Amino acid sequence: MKVKFQGNEQYQVAWDKINDIFVKRVEEITKFPWQHKIFKVELSDTITGMTTYGYDFVTRSKNEDPFDQCRLTAHEILMSHLWSYIYHHFGKLNKEEEKKFWALNEISTLCILALDPILNKLWTLKTKGFNQYLKTYPDLYKLKYKFKKIYLSSPDFKTYFLTALTL
């Protein structure tokens, strides 16, 4: 899987340095293949980050440091990947289920990107780590610590995901 930035060569150069490690490691963790050969990153003046529910594009801010942007771009791409995982394993969702899975997806993405030592090494010092994320979602901010314990104690992603889903 490759990521293609639309209209920002510096973003592309920064991302290309981590793409192969990111792609391989996410597949290893989730045990789920990427559903798209190419992810397009559309750049916006107004949107910081937005995933698509399993589709092959995401939206990101075009006003960031090229290397710092990689962490949030990875978050949006990984969320889309996890939506594909969710739909594959759980099928079509109603609105209430979708809301619950959205929360699980946000926190799972954080766990994968921050708690996996291989992936966390990909980010700049400013964007590494776990604690500073999800502050814009107060309900998720508290819940993320429960999910962190489950993630770190689970033998694999599927076990983590099914356990966290029960909270």
How far apart (Å, rounded) are the C-alpha atoms in residues 64 and 5? 13
pLDDT digits (tens, 9 = 90+) for 97-147: 999 999 999 999 999 999 999 999 999 999 999 999 999 999 998 899 999
Residue holding tokens 């969320």?
79
**pTM exceeds 0.85:** yes
Q: Is 45 exposed, middle or buried (0-12, 13-18, 19+ CB in 10 A)?
A: exposed
Q: What is the pLDDT of residues 26-71, one digit of tens each?
A: 999 999 999 999 999 999 999 999 999 999 999 999 999 999 999 9
| pLDDT at residue 7 tops 90 | no
Q: How far is the C-alpha of 155 from the C-alpha of 19, rounded, in Å?
A: 26
